Structure 1
Amino acid sequence: MSIWILLAVLGAAFLHALWNALIKVGTSRIGAMVVLSVAEVPIGLAIALPRPAMNTEAWPWVIAAGCTHFFYKSFLVFAYDRGDLSRVYPLARGAAPLAVALIGAAFLADDVSGPQYAGIALLACGIALMARGVFTDNESRHLIPFALGSAAATATYTLLDGLGARVSGDAIAYVAWVFVADGLIFTIGSLMWRGWGVVPMQPKVWVVGSFASLASYGAYAISIWAMTVAPIAVVAALRETSILFAVLIGWLVFGERMTRDKAIASGLIVVGIIVTRL
């Protein structure tokens, strides 16, 4: 993996942490996620329609990814209703890289070296330590099954997207159409589930949500592009450094407590990044 791909994936990690932070601001979590999802549709169409048509073999991957994103977002909303950004985010994102690495080793043709797997393991240890406060600091343990559900969905759509982008012949168009499918499926599903009352009416919420959607697209597109030129498991692991950014945002913006465990976990994550570069 070149240094430019590494920096691009780290930039995607920051954007991912940013949009997660934005959905915690100003309205209900489900309302914020609906706004973000509605904004995904025109963003995706604006990017996809001018581009050449994708390979038709990619469409089942697009639909499967859109459905998986519905479960990812739903679990994430429930978890954020029960915990802080700096606790939910590490647990929700942290279980995915090892699952992707193990499945990738068994079923994919990617060439992942021993040091890269060691780096993935270090990242996972740092992430697990980051989430330790759920058990030791009397925080709500009700967030755990929802955060783990989000992690399972993350591992699933990571594999779907990496393979689907390769089949599509155009990673940018693929991501854009997944955005459209994701936005439509989550919005329609939420309206059927919660009714029209779930839609926020404040203009500021729509501005913030649209910005969050743009950040989400940037994070998503960069990561999927990287998976077409680098091993999926390594990109997935590096993308989870968004946890470090989320913890910093939680501390500096939301006033969440920065503990010694969080600082140590941050160090492990940085070491994991270095090891994946060996």
Structure 2
Amino acid sequence: MSLTALTLVLTAALVHATWNYFLKKANATRPFWWLVYIITAVITVPALFIYDPQALTNITPTGWLVIALSAPIHVIYGQVLQIGYKKSDYSIVYPTARGTGPLITVLCAVLILGDRPSFWGWIGIALILASIVLLAMPHKQDKQTQDLRIRAGIFWGFLTGSFIAGYSFCDAWAVQQETGLTPLSFYFPSIAVRAIVFAPFIMMHANWKAESKEILTTPRLQKALAVVTVGSPLAYILVLYAMTIAPLAYVAPSREVGMMIGVVLGGLLLRERLSVTRLAGVIGMTLGVILVGLEG
């Protein structure tokens, strides 16, 4: 994995952990993600036309099919993640979600895309995945006082990770194959499709207008909306560019260095316990990322 790809992935990890922290703090209602999609699409799709007038016409029918398949997976991912943050702690949901995602993604990349990491690449990936388990393990005292909350966090985190694997595999295929798609021409139209797909489900919700107004007018929610609207696309576009120059089997687990940031944010800002086990996970994660980064 080249230094450029690793830099893109690590920057994305920092941005990703940050916007997830703000999403957790917001504790927002269902229209939150819909507003994120609408605002992002309104700003970025016209900008894409200006930057590359031929961007959409270059997309093949297969490319449009991938966009249509990816968009609903991202929509469901956003909702499942949001529910998880309502049900449990950031330091449980985030590591579990970010852990199961690359585990499934790497297996798919090896079995389906034919990615073949070297020996040290496998060691780095194994270290990252093992560290994910350590980071997701609750403290002994937590087991006694918050057992149900922890189990809920692991369940929703695992479910979120499954959708992460789904869109990671789909999106990597989109930008690596002959689909006429670039990271920008794939991601920004996909955002618009997400807004369209999600709209009927939002409007079936009786209080969607009032909840949308609350998100747009409450300072705390406005701040979270701004951070997620900028941070979510930025982090993922950086990852998409990394996928164009490095195998998915390396990119997917390397993204999870963001869990180190997540653990720190959970401990310092949300006052969640940093156990020895989780700190060991941070060290293992760092070593694994270094090994993956030295690859190629």
Q: Could you state the TM-score of these two structures normalised by the residue count of structure 1?
A: 0.91
Letter in 2 for 1:100: T
Which of 130, 133, 155 aligns to 1:145? It is: 155
Paired with 2:65 and 2:184, the residues of 1 have a C-alpha distance of: 17
Deviations 1:173-194 (A, max 9, x none): 1111222223333354333346
How do 1:1-278 residues align onto structure 2 when only pairs under 5 Å count?
1-28=1-28, 30-50=30-50, 51=52, 52=54, 53=56, 54-56=58-60, 57-133=62-138, 137-138=142-143, 139=146, 140=149, 141-166=151-176, 167-193=179-205, 195-196=207-208, 197-201=210-214, 202-204=217-219, 205-276=221-292, 277-278=294-295
Q: 1:253 to 1:158 in 2, by over 3 A?
A: same
- Contact preservation (8 Å) 1:98, 1:121: no
Following superposition, the deviation at residue 117 of structure 1 comes to: 2.2
In the comparison of the two structures, how many residue pairs are matched? Answer: 278
Paired with 1:191 and 1:70, the residues of 2 have a C-alpha distance of: 15
Q: 1:109 to 1:8 in 2, by over 3 A?
A: same
SS in structure 2 at match of 1:183: helix
- Contact preservation (8 Å) 1:97, 1:120: no
Letter in 2 for 1:120: I
Q: 1:240 to 1:86 in 2, by over 3 A?
A: same
Deviations 1:80-110 (A, max 9, x none): 1111111110001101112111111111133
SS in structure 1 at match of 2:121: helix
Runs of 4+ with >6 A deviation: none
Identity %: 25
Q: 1:257 to 1:110 in 2, by over 3 A?
A: same
Paired with 1:187 and 1:198, the residues of 2 have a C-alpha distance of: 14
Paired with 2:268 and 2:200, the residues of 1 have a C-alpha distance of: 35
Deviations 1:46-95 (A, max 9, x none): 44332222422211111111110122112111111111111110001101
- Contact preservation (8 Å) 1:27, 1:200: no
Q: Could you state the TM-score of these two structures normalised by the residue count of structure 2?
A: 0.86
Paired with 1:181 and 1:34, the residues of 2 have a C-alpha distance of: 11
Deviations 1:86-140 (A, max 9, x none): 1110001101112111111111133422321221111111111111118872331
Q: Which of 208-217 and 179-188 deviates more? A: 179-188
- Contact preservation (8 Å) 2:27, 2:85: no
Following superposition, the deviation at residue 200 of structure 1 comes to: 4.4
Q: Could you list the runs of 5+ residues in structure 1 that have no partner in the other structure?
A: none
Q: CA RMSD in A?
A: 2.1
Q: Which of 185-194 and 173-182 deviates more? A: 185-194
Q: 1:9 to 1:207 in 2, by over 3 A?
A: same
- Contact preservation (8 Å) 2:174, 2:181: no
Q: 1:75 to 1:274 in 2, by over 3 A?
A: same
Paired with 2:34 and 2:136, the residues of 1 have a C-alpha distance of: 27
Paired with 1:116 and 1:210, the residues of 2 have a C-alpha distance of: 37
Letter in 1 for 2:196: L
Letter in 2 for 1:28: A
Q: Which of 242-251 and 27-36 deviates more? A: 27-36
- Contact preservation (8 Å) 1:44, 1:180: no
Paired with 1:270 and 1:19, the residues of 2 have a C-alpha distance of: 21
Paired with 1:137 and 1:2, the residues of 2 have a C-alpha distance of: 40
Paired with 1:211 and 1:63, the residues of 2 have a C-alpha distance of: 26
Q: 1:249 to 1:176 in 2, by over 3 A?
A: same
Q: Could you list the runs of 5+ residues in structure 2 that have no partner in the other structure?
A: none
SS in structure 2 at match of 1:257: coil
SS in structure 1 at match of 2:271: coil
Letter in 1 for 2:131: G
